[in-house]
Structure 1
């Protein structure tokens, strides 16, 4: 089948590496995958990965999913995630990324808001039956026509993707490889509520290039990703860095420190991608002697206001790159210098690599009239964050559409250096690790538990916030929140502290 390559796509990048090194190692599963999903870990060459992608793509096509329809994916950080995303793009589909902690309530909202036609999951993740969650959410989403999963003991009505891999169908259809087409949809929470955020292939590639060039990931590197891929930053820092470097991608399902250290050494990983707080701990364990192959550490900050006050990086020859994440709005990165201190972030356009004359412009950082941080550039999608339309009578006075995204993070200029200081996260939005909630929503859920119930977010140095709950009967509160289909962050906020360790 002849495909028109109008501009680069993820599948196009994969095929380029495949043509160059079909027998080269491509993907490596976490060694503890059996505990996480009940399946044995795998390792695939590019040729083997290509056959798996072709088989999964054929399954999606044969299931009747039309071109450009949305397929939702809720999978752990294993090779099935990467294969499914690439297979969906080869079949001409758009991938909606579903975080692992989402349960029925959030899944149903996301499926309905995107009009998803299919959902992909696995039977169990860390003991939780995600297959059942997907079936229950699909029953409440009228657009869903196909539910499929990996693993054993799938519920009746869920198609087995392991079987699809075994049958190795090669059904194809004409798909124009156009980087301007939508590739993924991720989900954000802002002061205005829940937002699906679509991105094109070119937007993903721009994010991956900016990150790869700033952190100086070498061609052919073995990259270790210990960051959940179910977000723009997670997918860019794993899948995109891998495709652009053309090496091998080793995956770690967060987090088991001993397993991670063993993986890095066994695979000879030169690059580690991890949440910032985990990455910074490496300087405390004599990393230079314990992880001798490591040369690049990419630290992703879900709470970017904490970068400036973070400890100095002092971990031998490895270079640390700070990646500032602003929900799903966008990101930028800055490699630390010889002194180990975070690099000052100046307003205006920045290249990739940063501060290198003649480098391509990766994006722009600006201060908005509100005193918040704004982002502009090829990886940013302003339309997804556009303010709600004004009433028709006021539309003549409305401002023209913005060409930047307001991240809602409070920021100011340092008078002595001219650098931007990020001072506070968005007002009214609570972040617990990679999951965001409106403070108003927490209060509404607490009201459902009856009089005297309280659910609140407390500041936390590592994750931004942590949830704490109080009710007359915590056990009944947990049961009620489970029945409402809420994620375990809210449910476990009502754990009995006296019995916790």
Structure 2
């Protein structure tokens, strides 16, 4: 395959490591993968990973997927996820990240919105038949031409990628290694509704560098990622940080706390990437005796307004870095101070690391006239969030066109000048990594008949949790399942035990 190198790409980063250390361990599956997918765990060297990537890439090419077409991926946090992303990019495709909790309604909307030509999934994930979900969604997305999956007992019409891995095909095609080309599409919910957010290789590398440099991840790191990779932040904090460090990436499918601790210990991981509320619990452990190799903890905050009031990090053994996530708009990181408190976030340009003068600009923060936080920088996909022009009678000037308004309410602290993030975007409900318009919750509840209610209640760990009420909760769950809705909505109508 002839490749013309123009600027860095993810496949280019992988090939550089491959050339240096083909026999070094590269990717490690979760210890409990057998329970999650029904398949055995894998431990691949860079050479073995490269063979798998080439085999999957050949399958996509032979399936007739044109270069620059979109391929949707709905997989758990396992080796197959990382291999499939790199294989799709090697074949010149654009990856659309499909969160694991999405069901038929959201899958169909995303596939149609992006004009996806293929979808990749697993037979089962945590007991849910995702192969059937993918087939049903593909039937409603007229652009889909190829459906494939990993695992056993795939339905008729779904191609087996496990067979592709053992087939040994060497089919290739010329792909220009240009970091300015589209590589990824993730999905966000804003006040204006559902939107697809495309990014280039360079956008992804910029996001990975922001986490890698601020987190002081060493070269050759033994990285553990326990954060779902089906978002911009999830992918950059795992796949990109791994490619930038040139070490190995161990994966943990959230969450089995005992299994996570065992995996960190057994694989001598020195860097952990995890949701921040869970990562802060490590401060309650006897870390030197239980996880003696851990030196860096990177906590990702889906609820950045909670960072300032979070618990102190009291362990000297490991550095803690807060990474603020703003949906799919972007992120920034800040290592904790010596006393374990979150660092001050000042407005304006910031480097990575923040406390090292003269570093390259990783991004910029801005307070808009509306009292919200905006982001600018090399990772921010400005065009995807371009606001509508303000009405002619508006008294407020629009924010600069090279910024994206995150919608998070913020203010400046009078004594320090630091940015204080005070609340999430109005009208949007965030449950873990999933965002809904509050008005959509009411629309779905109306489908269950008179008296049905679906609402969001504040939750310290996940931002919000959903709670529902219907005349018959069991029938309500069945109806929502038939509509192909996210299980977060379905389980809001679970029966609750009444106190005695």
TM bucket (normalised to shorter chain) is over 0.9
8 Å Cα contact 1:288/1:315 also seen in 2: no
Using the size of structure 2 for normalisation, the TM-score is 0.98
8 Å Cα contact 2:2/2:173 also seen in 1: no
In the TM superposition, what whole-angstrom CA distance separates every residue of 1:8-61 from its partner, at most 9, and x where no partner exists? Answer: 000000000000000000000001000000000000000000000000000000
In the TM superposition, what whole-angstrom CA distance separates every residue of 1:449-482 from its partner, at most 9, and x where no partner exists? Answer: 0000000000000000000000000000000000
8 Å Cα contact 1:121/1:148 also seen in 2: yes
Task: Determine the structure 1 residue equivalent to 2:425.
Answer: 426
Using the size of structure 1 for normalisation, the TM-score is 0.98
Partners in 1 of 2:398 and 2:320 — Cα distance? Answer: 41
Partners in 1 of 2:175 and 2:461 — Cα distance? Answer: 44
Tell me the SS of whatever aligns to 2:35.
helix
Return the offset for 1:357: 1.1
Return the offset for 1:229: 0.1
Return the offset for 1:387: 1.7
Task: Determine the structure 2 residue equivalent to 1:411.
Answer: 410
Partners in 2 of 1:400 and 1:376 — Cα distance? Answer: 11
8 Å Cα contact 2:183/2:198 also seen in 1: yes
Partners in 1 of 2:303 and 2:76 — Cα distance? Answer: 23
Return the offset for 1:316: 3.0
Return the offset for 1:285: 1.5
Task: Determine the structure 2 residue equivalent to 1:27.
Answer: 27
Q: Does 1:82 align with 2:82?
A: yes
Alpha-carbon RMSD = 1.6
Q: How does 1:57-456 map to 2 (within 5 A)?
A: 57-388=57-388, 402-456=401-455
Task: Determine the structure 1 residue equivalent to 2:491.
Answer: 492
8 Å Cα contact 1:367/1:374 also seen in 2: yes
In the TM superposition, what whole-angstrom CA distance separates every residue of 1:218-242 from its partner, at most 9, and x where no partner exists? Answer: 0001100000000000000000000
Q: Could you tell which deviates more after superposition, 279-288 or 438-447? A: 279-288
CA pair 280-399 structure 1, distance change in 2 beyond 3 A: closer
Task: Determine the structure 1 residue equivalent to 2:458.
Answer: 459
Partners in 2 of 1:315 and 1:197 — Cα distance? Answer: 38
Return the offset for 1:288: 2.5
Partners in 2 of 1:427 and 1:328 — Cα distance? Answer: 16
Partners in 2 of 1:436 and 1:400 — Cα distance? Answer: 24
Partners in 2 of 1:288 and 1:204 — Cα distance? Answer: 34
Partners in 1 of 2:2 and 2:139 — Cα distance? Answer: 38
Partners in 1 of 2:397 and 2:316 — Cα distance? Answer: 54
8 Å Cα contact 2:442/2:453 also seen in 1: yes
In the TM superposition, what whole-angstrom CA distance separates every residue of 1:397-453 from its partner, at most 9, and x where no partner exists? Answer: 996971011000000000100000000000000000000000000000000000000
Tell me the SS of whatever aligns to 2:166.
helix
Return the offset for 1:104: 0.2
Partners in 2 of 1:337 and 1:258 — Cα distance? Answer: 29
Paired residues in the alignment total 498
